[in-house]
Amino acid sequence: MLLRYTGVFACLGFLSLCWAYKVTPIIGDDVYPFVKIGNGYYYIENNKRANWYQAYIACRKMGAELVSFETREELDAMDAYIPIEYSLRQYWTSGTDLAVKGMHVWFSNAEPLADDVWYPGEPNDAGGNERCDILIYKGTGGTAINDRQCDSVELYICEVPLPKEVSFIW
Ligand SMILES: [Ca+2]
Ligand SMILES: [Ca+2]
């Protein structure tokens, strides 16, 4: 009797191990490690700093891209989400003009940056060497985009349209 159940439990145990692999934990609307903000899923890196290239690689390792704010609404949603005490923090986005100088596009989808996402007076290509775009605080008016040197070491935000799966073993 006991022996028979032992066999059944061993079998179930093996199956549950198979099922546990690559389970996507869902917490509310969030899909770990991403948080749902508006229609998108984002990973906001508030500890590790990296240059633009390193930040992009870090996002790709998560199956994501550096964030692209295709609309002012998406930017406003992020601004509303980031706590006020983080308001002086700055985060890399996928925006860059590395392909064609002066033509800033979201690297994740090649769409040009909309005029209304820029901080007033930006992009200014200060020193002739600002090719990567960063989210900065604009005071009470919310956040906006500034071009900055790509090797500057900053925080970053990754974005994925909808997380497919996250490797996770219980
Ligand atoms: Ca986006
Ligand atoms: Ca600038």
For residue 128, what is the domain's CATH number? 3.10.100.10
Domain that holds residue 153: 2-160
Between 144 and 85, whose confidence is greater?
144
**pLDDT reported for residue 64:** 96
Tell me the CA–centroid distance for residue 9 and ligand 1, in Å: 46
Q: Of the ligands numbered here, which is closest to the C-alpha atom of 158?
A: 1
pLDDT tens per residue across span 35-69 = 999 889 999 999 999 999 999 999 999 999 999 99
Q: State the total domains in the chain.
A: 1
Between 18 and 106, whose confidence is greater?
106
pLDDT tens per residue across span 17-39 = 434 444 556 667 888 899 999 88
Domain presence at residue 168: no
**pLDDT reported for residue 5:** 56
Tell whether the model's pLDDT for residue 169 goes beyond 80. Answer: no
Give me 33's structure tokens: 């490690």
Distances in Å between the alpha carbon of 79 and those of 140, 145, 153?
Answer: 11, 12, 21
Distance, CA of 32 to chain centre: 12
Tell whether the model's pLDDT for residue 6 goes beyond 80. Answer: no
Domain presence at residue 166: no
Report the predicted TM-score, pTM, of the whole model to 2 decimal places.
0.80
Domain presence at residue 155: yes
Domain presence at residue 71: yes
Domain presence at residue 94: yes
* CA distance linking residue 87 with residue 89, whole number of Å: 5
- C-beta atoms surrounding 136 within 10 Å: 18
Tell me the CA–centroid distance for residue 142 and ligand 1, in Å: 17
Domain presence at residue 106: yes
Tell me the CA–centroid distance for residue 159 and ligand 1, in Å: 7
Domain presence at residue 51: yes
Domain presence at residue 30: yes
Q: Of the ligands numbered here, which is closest to the C-alpha atom of 146?
A: 2
